[in-house]
Amino acid sequence: MNKLSPNSFYTKACIEVRNKLDKFILKLKSENGISLKISFGIFLFILFFQPFSLDGEDFNSHILHISGFSVILYTIIVIVRVLSSLIFDLNREIHGNTIFPEYFNGIVIFLLSVVAFAFYGNYVAGIGFSFTVAFRLIIICLFPPFILSLNDNLRNLKKRNEELVNEKKYIQKQVEEFEEDILNKTIEFTTDANNETLSLTVNDVVYVKSSDNYVEIVYRDFDSYKKKLLRNTLKNIELQIRQYSNFIRCHRTCIVNVHFIEKLHRSAGNQWLTIKGYDVRLPVSRQYLLRIQEVL
């Protein structure tokens, strides 16, 4: 059994302490902004609406006492939010979950704010307490937990949205890789008597069109288009390629590769498709029109 040397143990301990300190500083920075905004909001609320009677004070003392409420609230929010976050993280590391509900922070902040505001208002700011003053104080102390809860929900929604965006990108990448793999597969087109074969990758087949007792297969050969007639039925060809989602029937006489469709055209009740880089019109029947519109 290997034992850690004193130096290794000391180094490991230093790294753990530094990581926890970095986490503490990061959490402190993340809570600082919202705490300042809420505290300043309470400062402005008390300053303009004057829920507490501060008559007989000069303006400077008035501002100083109101600032005291803001400083108290800011300190409570930061301490509770940072410490509770560290406690929750430690509890998760030990037990794998947390025993505290999500609204635990809000309850603690509310209770501490009520007690601190009451003590400060009575013994420092000289506010004469009554039922009305106590009620107003409680209402004021309800605002910070409410705003913090909204902020946390918005933050969680933003985080969840980022996770969904990343998940979508990952799925799109997987789909693209799957489609690329599909497009590189080879199809063996044969005659009904199996005496002639045409091997093409899925990506090179442009369209297949019925022509009497034959099928006309148009395919891409490097930068040019070529066609091949095989004695077979379009129904047999469709059964052979229906596993590939990029092939779609546009007419009872034609199956097209959607990757080569340039545009759907309409005129005088008729619809047709044009192919990229190839001078041809493929008919589109009403029966398959909706499906064509969905894939384009």
286: CATH: 2.40.50.1020
- Residue at 208 is within a domain: yes
Question: Final residue of a domain: which of 104, 138, 153?
Answer: 153
Q: Do residues 102 and 148 touch, judged by C-beta distance below 8 A?
A: no
Who contacts 281 (Cβ-Cβ below 8 Å, separation ≥6)?
A: 265, 272, 273, 274
Q: Are residues 42 and 145 in the same domain?
A: yes
> Which is nearest to 140 in space by CA: 230, 216, 46?
46
6: left (phi over 0), alpha (psi -120 to 50) or beta: alpha
Residue 169 lies in a domain: no
Asked if the structure places residue 83 within a domain, the reply is: yes
Residues 212 and 258 in one domain: yes
Same domain, 10 and 149: yes
Cβ atoms of 266 and 229 within 8 Å: the answer is no
Give Cβ neighbours of residue 264 (< 8 Å, ≥ 6 apart).
271, 272, 273, 284, 292, 293, 296
Sign, CA dihedral 192-196-202-203, equals negative
- Which residues 6+ apart lie within 8 Å of 218 measured at CB? 205, 206, 207, 208, 209, 225, 226, 227, 278, 280
Per-residue pLDDT of the chain (296 residues; tens, 9 = 90+): 445 555 665 676 677 667 766 676 777 787 888 899 999 999 999 888 888 776 555 778 888 889 999 999 999 998 888 887 777 666 655 555 555 566 788 899 999 999 999 999 888 888 877 888 899 999 999 999 999 999 989 988 999 999 999 999 999 888 878 777 877 888 888 888 778 889 999 989 999 999 888 999 999 988 899 999 999 999 999 998 988 888 999 999 999 999 999 999 998 888 999 999 999 999 999 999 999 998 88
Name the burial class of residue 105, with classes exposed (0-12), middle (13-18) and buried (19+) by CB atoms within 10 angstroms of its CB. buried
Structural tokens at position 221: 């050969």
Statement to judge: residues 128 and 213 lie in one domain: no
With respect to residue 180, please indicate whether it lies within any of the assigned structural domains.
Answer: no
Q: Do 220 and 288 share a domain, yes or no?
A: yes
If asked whether residues 13 and 139 sit together in one domain, one would say: yes
**Residue 279's domain spans which residues?**
186-295
Phi and psi based region of residue 269 (left: phi greater than 0; alpha: psi -120 to 50; beta: remaining):
left
Burial of 141 (0-12, 13-18, 19+ CB in 10 A): buried
Q: How many domains does the chain have?
A: 2
Whether 246 is covered by a domain: the verdict is yes
Per-residue tokens: 258 = 């959607």
Indicate the residue among 97, 128, 153 that finishes a domain. 153
Please check whether residues 124 and 225 belong to one and the same domain: no
